Amino acid sequence: MKPNFDMFHQWSKKPRVTYVKTSNEKIAVVYTRVSSKEQYDTNLSLDWQKKAIDEFALRSDIRTAAYFGGTYESAKTDGRKEFQRMLDYIKKNKDTVTHVLVYLLDRFSRSGDGAMRLSKELREKYGVTIVAVTQPIDTSNPGGVFQQNLQFLFSQYDNELRRQRAMAGIKEHLEQGIWCKKPPMGYTAIKEGKERKIIVDETGKKLRKAFRWKAEGIKNDEILQRLKAMGVQIYKQKLSMIFSNPFYCGIIADKMLNGNLVEGSHEKMIPPEVFLQIHKVRAAAKGKYGVTHKKENEQYPLKLFMKCDKCGIGYTGYVVKKKNKTNNKVHEFHYYKCRSQGCNCNQRTSEVNQEFVYFLKDYTLQPQLVAPLLYHMDAAFDKHYEVALEQQKMYKAKLADIEKSSEELEDDFYLYKKVPEDVYIRLRTKLAKEKADIAEVLSTLDVENSNLKTYFREGITISTQLATSWYSSPIPVKEKLQKFIFPEGVTYNREKGTFLTSKVNTLFEPIARLNSITDDDKNKQGSISAALSNWVGRTGFELPYNKLNVNIYKSKNIKTHRLTHWEYM
Ligand SMILES: [Zn+2]
């Protein structure tokens, strides 16, 4: 006898469905894309795609709910963002959306297996079918799915072929000296008739000066500042890259050429001699601390760094050679000399250098002071980073706001067509700039305090043996070290044999004060705190509240000195 099934209903099984459509209506999202920038700019193909899709939707009784895409293919990130936005929309509206409409399947995706996986997920998880209006296939049966997958694979195959052909084309051009990729900074590609020409542009004219300066031996920092003053802002690394790219003197070097060099047909920014000259300068700089010193210069570490207290002009050095009459040996006597007429200041270098060593002793930390100094330093840093972290949080929130505004703007333009194109472009540029500004500030907010702490600890270590370090180091190190501690040089008083300085590195300034505290000071701890309070409360450790301050903060206390320090180490 057949059992009564009504009693067994609770054990019946249904296929698991992850989506439920709220109505039988066919609702689609539309995704358009063109393959080249030209098509995008003329908007022809995009309009064409949209029109064909709209007609298909009308015929098939499909209501279109949203439009995505409208970009061209080489705009890789834009395209991906749009695609992701469409997927997000589908997921959010999975109870209504039933179709994705595209013009051709390759508009949906060019990577065959990726597209197959995605279309499977959309089909099975969200009940959404991809339909190419020019090749409609019913994917509700295995045959249809198979056919669509084949089309995805063909798209990918086409794409690979196209890529390979393009690569071969580029290589062939390069071999003929024709640069067909994006030209490096300072160059612009123009069209003259049918011909593409790569010429030195306005920025390039300024870079040309940079090459000349570099060839004259001017330091990168100085060159960067000069470029900045002319409106060309680049990073240090970028400048080095430019200086080492032979493209600028007309030579093409590219991975595709497999180690070969080709003379390019583009305009030369500089003659090859200048390029080579620079690399001689660079080679010298790499080997020996920037400047090549003649042996005799070893006698004059304070040359130019030390200024005359009467006229303010930097001392130069000179040598007097005397022959000893008894043994005929030549003796050299070295002097620092003020270059001003009338100052008549000639001082034996050995004496002045010794006096400078004494002067440095004021800035040489006594070993028993290392511990209190480190204690105060750590406290100051922790305080500083507490605030820096807060700042970072605030800027990150700001960044998120802008991010959100950008997305809304994209929606208003592409989706809701609420803003005209010129307004959209203006706003987009504005937002992008704000974003870049904040990102820059964020990059300067050093919340990674261990680096700076380490740096200052090392600085303190240097300071405990400052005088001896300076005395025993070769001249390039001497020069770096003295400039590190006294960024603006020192003034020499010939009568008293003493030095004066207007500016001392933040790190070394309190050391002189600490050193003046005597052991029998009744309020020793208080004196130490007082000496350090100035240091702890310095603006250098305060938080940068705006961008301008950040830069001052960076350049004055951290970056330049850190560099000097590392080079010195
Ligand atoms: Zn003088």
Residue 28, beta-bridge partner list: 64, 99
Q: Closest by alpha carbon to 88, among 411, 395, 323, 324?
A: 411
Would the CA dihedral through 103, 108, 110, 115 be positive or negative? Answer: negative
Residue that finishes a domain, picked among 234, 260, 287: 287
- Containing domain of residue 251, as a range? 187-287
Residue 44, pLDDT score: 57
Residues 155 and 202 in one domain: no
Residue range 478-495: mean pLDDT, rounded: 86
Domain check: are 283 and 306 in the same one? no
pLDDT digits (tens, 9 = 90+) for 512-551: 777 777 777 777 777 776 776 655 544 333 322 222 222 2
Domain end position, chosen among 287, 309, 338? 287
Asked whether residue 481 is domain-assigned, the answer is: no
Q: How confident is the model at residue 172, as a pLDDT?
A: 85
pLDDT of amino acid 567: 27
Whether residue 367 is predicted with pLDDT greater than 80 in this model: the reply is no
Task: Clarify whether residues 438 and 524 are in a common domain.
Answer: yes
Q: 497 alpha carbon to ligand 1 midpoint, in Å?
A: 14
Q: In terms of domains, do 216 and 159 share one?
A: no
Residue type, 89: Y
Of the pLDDT bands very low, low, confident and very high (cuts 50, 70, 90), residue 79 is low
In a domain, 222, yes or no: yes
Residue 150 and residue 197 in one domain:
no
Measure the CA–CA gap between 291 and 285, rounded to whole angstroms: 6
Grade residue 203 by pLDDT with cuts at 50, 70 and 90.
very high
Least confident span in 50-64, 116-130, 189-203, 449-463: 449-463
310 and 242 belong to one structural domain: no
> What's the CA-to-centroid distance between 312 and ligand 1, angstroms?
6
pLDDT grade, residue 94 (50/70/90)?
A: confident
Q: What pLDDT is recorded for position 187?
A: 95
Ligand 1: distance of its center to the CA of 303 in Å? 13
Contacts 24+ apart (CB under 8 A), 396-400: 396/442, 398/438, 399/435, 399/438, 399/439, 399/442
Q: Model confidence at 110, in pLDDT bands (50, 70, 90)?
A: low
User: Does residue 298 or residue 500 have the better pLDDT?
Assistant: 500
Ligand 1 ion: Cβ-proximal residues, 5 Å cutoff = 308, 310-311, 338, 340, 343
Residue 339 confidence (pLDDT):
80
Taking residues 118-122, report their average pLDDT.
86
Q: Output the pLDDT for position 557.
A: 34
Q: Tell me the pLDDT band of 11, cut-offs 50, 70 and 90.
A: confident
Whole-number percent of the chain with pLDDT over 70: 80
Question: Is residue 361 domain-resident?
Answer: no
Query: How many other C-beta atoms are found inside a 10 Å radius of the C-beta of residue 109?
Result: 23
Same-domain status, 276 and 383: no
pLDDT at residue number 208:
94
CATH of the domain at 120: 3.40.50.1390
Look at residue 495 and tell me if it is in a domain: no
Task: Tell me how far the alpha carbon of residue 348 lies from the centroid of ligand 1, in angstroms.
Answer: 15
Are 232 and 374 contained in the same domain?
no
Q: Is residue 337 located within the same domain as residue 377?
A: no
Same domain, 456 and 316: no
Question: Do 282 and 300 fall within a single domain?
Answer: no
Quick one: pLDDT at residue 455?
Answer: 62
Q: Is residue 160 scored above 80 in pLDDT? A: no
Residue 278 has pLDDT above 80, yes or no: yes
515 inside domain: yes
Domain end (from 238, 270, 287): 287
Residue 308 lies in a domain: yes
410 within some domain: yes
Which CATH number characterizes residue 208's domain? 3.90.1750.20
Percentage of residues in the chain with pLDDT exceeding 90?
Answer: 17
Say yes or no: 346 and 376 in one domain. Answer: no
Q: Report the amino acid identity of residue 526.
A: G
Count of domains forming the chain: 4
Residue 263 lies in a domain: yes
Query: Residue 491 pLDDT > 50, yes or no?
Result: yes
Residue 550 has a pLDDT of: 28
* Distance from the alpha carbon of residue 493 to the mean position of ligand 1, in angstroms: 10
